[in-house]
Amino acid sequence: MPRPLRIAALQPRTFEAAEHARGWEALLARVDQAIGGHALLVLPEAAVPGWALLSREAAAALSLPSESAWTGPLAERARRAGCAIAAGIVSTDADGALRNELVLFGPDGREVARAGERDAFGWFTPGRGPVVAEIEGVRIGLVVGRDLARRGLIRDLAGAQLLIAAAAPRGAGRGLANDASVESDLLESRAALLGAWAIVGGKAGSEGGIVRYAGSAGVIDPAGQWSVRAPAGESGVVSTEIDLEAPPGPAIDVAGLPPDSVARSPGEPFRGEVAAVAFDARPSAVESMERVRALVHGAVTAGARLVVLPDLAGTDPRAVTATETLPFLEALSADCGATIFAGLAERAEGLTYKSAYAIEDGRVIAAHRQSVLDRDERAAGFHAGEDAPSTVRTRYGLVGLLCGAEGLVLPAPSGAGITAWCAGDAAAPVAGAARAIAIEDGVAVAAAGSASRAGGAFVVDAAGRILAATPPGEASVATARLL
């Protein structure tokens, strides 16, 4: 039965750290205006005293009040309104160490849980990482900042019905469109993978001359789509009602995955033009292959020599199979001189797998059976392969090969200069997952998804910046030169 919950995310305008007293008064006034009628109110990352503190010494010179000066008034407001409050704060240890944290107060005003940014940046000291808490039977995951890009989040927060992120979206956009921050992309992907609602506070303005915020306080549904979202340049509050019985749960069973404890080392960086193709296979095999031919030739004409196609099988074991399609792709590779990667259905010994193939000089040079399946792929009757993803030696160097759901939860193969991800219609938005691979593993990614809203094709550099992206919902090619 439905469990409606009214939740809100705050988007205050920024103040410089030296103005922390005035900023704190303005923030409390915003809380007082927004809290009524809600079960949960979420404040942004480092809501007090601000994120851009520059150094421990600079923070110490501000003569900041004790943490209780911030947490006390928030706890009291939570108790008075009967509304849980999640607030991003910067805590200071006795020795002056700064921690980027997210504190959750229950509707009775008591502190329920506290997450700390484990992958801390610059002036911050590493914290405890993501945590799971519970309020009135609702499992809530808490995550801070750069931890959104870490696969440990998936394991630690699986089973959460609601994900609260202290990760105020920054104004670093996607390609020329400049329409999505890293934090927004990551949060979309994580919400869908966990099968949970997600909420994040935002900021309007800039701090310290080093960061401009992209707004985007809002709520994301369990499919990774924004339910409500604030614009970039305005302060205010966004509010919506969610149904806690709607989340389907994690798309991937992470309990059986091997621990990700081995350090990965990127290889010699790939340099040159690379292309990723967004495409959905069509009922007519002839029509599908002719469209693939046109897209690959378009990529090669634009200068690409590595071309990544999506997982073309989708959730239909009878769809695009290796037996029917590999001869065509081999001929296409020989004709255009490109190294092509594609995901296909493979039938062997009475079982059907999803396999990724690397094709060069008119022949298959490597194949890999997808080792992690999402719920839809398992329901369709696919079987998982037993081998972990590995690298492929091409004429352009070592390329990591990931297929389908592997890109959501597994690391890039060690030693790769670039990772080719035949994503297809993945269980979470492809952009955020591709950026997470790049950021965590320090390797460029060419990710080829479906033409759905959550799909698309992306070329991402090793820092997680999107260099090229296909238009949303279109079968097209993203090409970029990696330097």
Sheet containing 111-116, strands listed edge to edge, beginning at the edge strand earlier in sequence: 111-116, 98-105, 84-92, 40-42, 4-11, 236-243
Residues 6+ away with beta carbon under 8 Å from 76: 109
Domains contained in the chain, CATH given: 4-250 (3.60.110.10), 272-482 (3.60.110.10)
Report d(CA 364, CA 254) in Å as an integer.
31
In angstroms, the Cα distances linking 271 to 164, 294, 417 are 38, 25, 9
AA letter at 85: I
Strands 457-460 and 444-449: antiparallel
Alpha-helical (H) ranges within 162-284 are 182-194
Which tens digit of pLDDT belongs to each residue from 17-40?
999 999 999 999 999 999 999 999
Q: Is the pTM for the entire model greater than 0.85?
A: yes
Sheet containing 363-369, strands listed edge to edge, beginning at the edge strand earlier in sequence: 363-369, 351-360, 339-348, 306-311, 272-278, 476-482
Report d(CA 285, CA 291) in Å as an integer.
10
AA letter at 52: A
Tell me the pLDDT band of 262, cut-offs 50, 70 and 90: low
Tell me what the mean pLDDT of segment 247-265 comes to.
74
Residues 6+ away with beta carbon under 8 Å from 248: 195, 222, 375
Which tens digit of pLDDT belongs to each residue from 390-439?
999 999 999 999 999 999 999 999 999 999 999 999 899 999 999 999 99
- Residue 336: in which H helix or E strand, if any? helix 322-336
